[in-house]
Amino acid sequence: MANFNQVTLIGHVGQEVKMKDVNGKKLAEFSIAVNETYGKDETKKTITTWFNVDAWEGLAGIASKLLKPGLNILVQGKLKADNYEKDNLKVKSFRVVADTLQIFDPKKDEEEQA
C-alpha cells in the first residue's frame, strides 16, 4: 500500500516570520491560526487551532518578504514529527513543512465576486 503525507491549511499568519540559518540553508518559521466555527446563532462557537510552519530556501525568502501577522494564507506541505524531552517527559509535536504558500487578498476576492 502506498503512503501519503500532505496537508492543506487556510488561516491567518500569527506573528512576524522568524528567519534562521540552518547548516547554510534559509529557514522561515511562522504560525498560522485556523478557525473552525460550529453551531448557529447563540450556540455558535469558534475553535482556533495553531500550526507551526517551516518554509525553506526560496520559499523562506518569499515568506519573509510577504507574510505579515493577520494575513490570510493557504499553506500546502507535509507534516513532520518532532520528538524531544521536556521536564523528563517525552513530547511529540508536529510542524508543517511548506511546499506552497498562497496569499488571499479579501478585498480583491470581494471585487471579483461583485
> What are the boundaries of each domain within the chain?
7-113
Cα separation, 112 vs 94, in Å, equals 36
- What is the third-level CATH fold of 7-113? OB fold (Dihydrolipoamide Acetyltransferase, E2P) (2.40.50)
pTM: 0.82
Q: Which residue has the cell 511529540?
A: 92
Cα separation, 47 vs 34, in Å, equals 8
Q: Which residue has the cell 485556523?
A: 34
Instruction: Render each residue's pLDDT in the chain as its tens digit; 114 residues.
Output: 889 999 999 999 999 999 999 999 999 999 999 999 998 888 889 999 999 999 999 999 999 999 999 999 999 999 999 998 989 999 999 999 999 999 987 655 555 544
Answer for the pair 97, 77: CB distance below 8 angstroms, yes or no. yes
- Length of the chain measured in residues: 114
Q: Which residues contact 87 (CB under 8 A, 6 or more apart)?
A: none
